[in-house]
Amino acid sequence: MSGGGDSTGRRILIINGNPARQRSSFSSALAQAYHDGAIEAGHVVHTVRLADLAFDPILHEGYQGVQPAEPDIAAVQAQITWAQHVVFIYPMWQFGIPALVKGFCERAFTPGFAYNVKAKNPMQAALLRGRSARLIQTMGMPQAFYEIVFRAHGGKAFRSLLSFCGFSPVRATYLGMVEQGQATRERHLARVRNLGGKAL
């Protein structure tokens, strides 16, 4: 889905990283909420659902071989280039990001596109500067428990990757207790819709 906006709006790319194909996930509802809030505020929005893309998520030879980007990966790279703000929405699985999201990052945030491996200063290797990012991660546990006890380590690793590629700032929203009923989900949806309106 995509939408228009006026000239003052930001260019936003929403990446739905939930691997679900046979059901409508809560990630999809959150993506729609962010989209609707952003469109109402005059932003321009494109949305990508990783489960719909055709690509090999495994970087078979690491960075020592050649593995050309499939058309779907190249298309999303073009949308990342277009965007001023990129939003990743996904469930926390086994305390980290789903394998599909990890595989997408390995195939999309590659040398030459996301960073320059020949840069003399690694702090100046980023090629995607000028863009901000937001992680929206859902989980069954309480947000405070994830942040205090587990120190949000999965989210921190993802934020580090995006920061290395040049995204700044990279913010994270952790939505806990998503299995506790519709009232909790409605609060989360309202929160995400508000973020969309502010392009945060």
Residue-wise pLDDT for 131-177, tens only, equals: 999 999 999 999 999 999 999 999 999 999 999 999 999 999 999 99
Do the beta carbons of residue 86 and residue 15 sit within 8 Å? yes
Q: Where are the domains of the chain?
A: 2-198
Strand 44-49 relative to strand 132-138, pairing: unpaired
Domain 2-198 top-level CATH class:
alpha beta
d(CA 178, CA 173): 13
The stretches in the chain having pLDDT less than 70 are 1-7
Q: Taking the complete model, does pTM exceed 0.85, yes or no?
A: yes
Report, in this order, helix, strand and coil percent for the chain, each rounded to 5.
40, 20, 40
